[in-house]
């Protein structure tokens, strides 16, 4: 189930990144595919936070979209969608053919973290030498993207 992110939240998070940093702000996802349990909903700010907690190293996995969706559905979680969100990952960006140090993220798939875990594997759909593909990375933010109630920020 996709949920739209309120425009006011988008504006607020976009402005929050205007504190003098030259890095592009991390906006909330434009939409979210929810694979949360029936009484929970995905949180846009959790997805954005998890996106910024990734390390700058590609994992060796070569995931495909169907396997990622299956994993997120089974573990519960969400998939956030952006329009080429720029994320500062200089080493990964270079491996993806980007010369400016930014990966272009189209989606982030986040399965729930294992209890007690300090990291988790997340999947980013990125531009790789002009083509879209999924990559696996380690994220250090292990918060749950699914919260009780209706979709929130």
Instruction: Report the C-alpha gap between 49 and 37 in whole angstroms.
Output: 21
Residue 53 is classified by DSSP as: T
Task: Give the pLDDT confidence score for residue 21 in this predicted structure.
Answer: 60
Instruction: Report the C-alpha gap between 24 and 18 in whole angstroms.
Output: 9
Rg (Cα) of the chain, in Å, rounded?
15
Q: Which secondary structure element, helix H or strand E, spans residue 15, and what is its range?
A: helix 7-16
Task: Give the pLDDT confidence score for residue 39 in this predicted structure.
Answer: 86
Task: Give the pLDDT confidence score for residue 11 in this predicted structure.
Answer: 43
Instruction: Report the C-alpha gap between 148 and 43 in whole angstroms.
Output: 10
> What are the average pLDDT values for consecutive 10-residue runs of the chain, which has 153 residues?
49 46 88 93 95 96 93 96 96 97 98 95 96 97 87 51
Task: Give the pLDDT confidence score for residue 26 in this predicted structure.
Answer: 94
Q: List the one residue out of 65, 146, 85 whose CA is nearest residue 111.
A: 146
Residue 140 is classified by DSSP as: S
Task: Give the pLDDT confidence score for residue 72 in this predicted structure.
Answer: 97
Report yes or no: 89 and 56 within 8 Å, Cβ to Cβ: yes
Q: Where are the domains of the chain?
A: 2-18+29-148
pTM score, two decimals? 0.83
Q: Which secondary structure element, helix H or strand E, spans residue 11, and what is its range?
A: helix 7-16
């Amino acid at each position: 189930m996709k949920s739209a992110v309120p425009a006011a939240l988008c504006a607020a998070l976009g402005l929050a990144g205007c504190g003098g940093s030259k890095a592009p702000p991390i906006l909330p996802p434009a939409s979210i595919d929810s694979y949360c349990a029936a009484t929970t909903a995905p949180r846009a700010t959790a997805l954005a936070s998890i996106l910024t907690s990734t390390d700058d190293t590609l994992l060796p996995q070569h995931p495909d979209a169907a396997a990622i969706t299956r994993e997120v559905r089974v573990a519960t979680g969400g998939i956030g969608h952006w329009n080429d969100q720029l994320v500062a990952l200089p080493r990964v960006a270079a491996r993806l053919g980007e010369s400016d140090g930014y990966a272009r993220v189209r989606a982030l798939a986040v399965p729930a973290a294992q209890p007690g875990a300090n990291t988790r594997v997340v999947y980013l759909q990125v531009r790789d030498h002009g083509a879209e593909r999924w990559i696996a990375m380690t994220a250090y933010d292990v918060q749950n993207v699914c919260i009780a109630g209706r979709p929130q920020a």
